[in-house]
């Protein structure tokens, strides 16, 4: 009988990616060691120009760093706007295509809430939301959601500081590290 880990063995190096319509934040792990982090910004006046720039820069990045055996990217989720979700899907398609062209052997995705919960940064509790609203009465729903997002970004950066001894100013890079942390500890759960 073949074990699941034989069908999906954890690679020696993993590149974790947090992509947006404007950038690709990355964290490269060798075994369980974080060896490199950074961010690549995309340029273009339109989404399509950014998609072309994203593909070119992603291919160049992987060729310069050496193509990792495995890439884990945060899965596109619908947040507030169908246009934003569509634009992000276009950019991620360009990234994934470029990775495949340069030879990445395994490309996997992770749902944001799965890695966030794993590192202890799940959705705010009812008590946390109540406290925020009690301390800041009369604000709009969008204001509360914005503050909640910022609070969670700070928690992820705190996780990175504690677990990887890195003080970051960029929450996208922190997210890439969180994605990678999940991947190196839960490879068999990725699809």
pLDDT for 88: 87
**For position 8, what pLDDT does the model report?**
63
Within 10 Å of residue 76's Cβ, how many Cβ atoms? 20
- Structural domain boundaries in the chain: 4-119+167-189
| Structure confidence at residue 5 (pLDDT) | 45
In our burial notation (b when 16+ CB lie closer than 10 A, e otherwise), range 1-22 reads eeeeeeeeebbebbbbbbbbbb
d(CA 124, CA 151): 9
pTM for the full predicted model: 0.88
CATH of span 4-119+167-189: 3.30.420.10
Task: Kindly report the length of the chain.
Answer: 191
Structure tokens at 22: 């404007």
Reading the block at residue 72, the tokens are 């884990």
| pLDDT reported for residue 51 | 94
Q: What is the Cα–Cα distance from 143 to 21, expressed in whole angstroms?
A: 23
pLDDT of residue 7: 57
3-state secondary structure of 107: strand
Alpha carbon separation from 108 to 54, 58, 83, 149 (Å, rounded): 19, 16, 24, 25
- Average pLDDT across each block of 10 residues of the chain; the chain has 191 residues. List them in order: 52 92 94 94 95 94 83 79 85 90 88 93 88 90 88 94 95 97 92 74
CB-facing half-sphere around the CA of 35: CA atoms within 13 A:
12
The arrangement of strands across the sheet holding 13-19 comes to 33-41, 23-30, 13-19, 70-74, 106-110
């Amino acid at each position: 009988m073949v074990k699941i880990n034989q069908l999906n063995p954890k690679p020696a190096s993993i590149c974790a990616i947090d992509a947006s319509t404007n950038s690709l934040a990355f964290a490269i792990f060798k075994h369980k060691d974080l060896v490199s982090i950074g961010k690549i910004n995309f340029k273009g006046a339109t989404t399509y120009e950014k998609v072309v720039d994203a593909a070119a820069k992603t291919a160049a990045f992987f060729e310069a760093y050496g193509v990792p055996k495995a890439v884990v990217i945060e899965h596109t989720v619908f947040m507030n706007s169908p246009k934003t979700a569509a634009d992000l899907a276009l950019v991620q398609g360009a990234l994934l295509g470029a990775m495949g062209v340069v030879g990445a052997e395994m490309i996997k995705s992770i749902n944001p809430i799965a890695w966030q919960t794993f590192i202890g940064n799940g959705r705010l509790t009812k008590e946390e939301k109540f406290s925020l609203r009690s301390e800041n009465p009369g604000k709009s729903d969008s204001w509360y959601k914005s503050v909640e997002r910022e609070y969670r970004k700070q928690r992820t950066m705190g996780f990175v500081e504690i677990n990887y001894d890195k003080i970051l100013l960029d929450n996208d890079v922190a997210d890439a590290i969180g994605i990678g942390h999940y991947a190196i500890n839960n490879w068999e759960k990725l699809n």
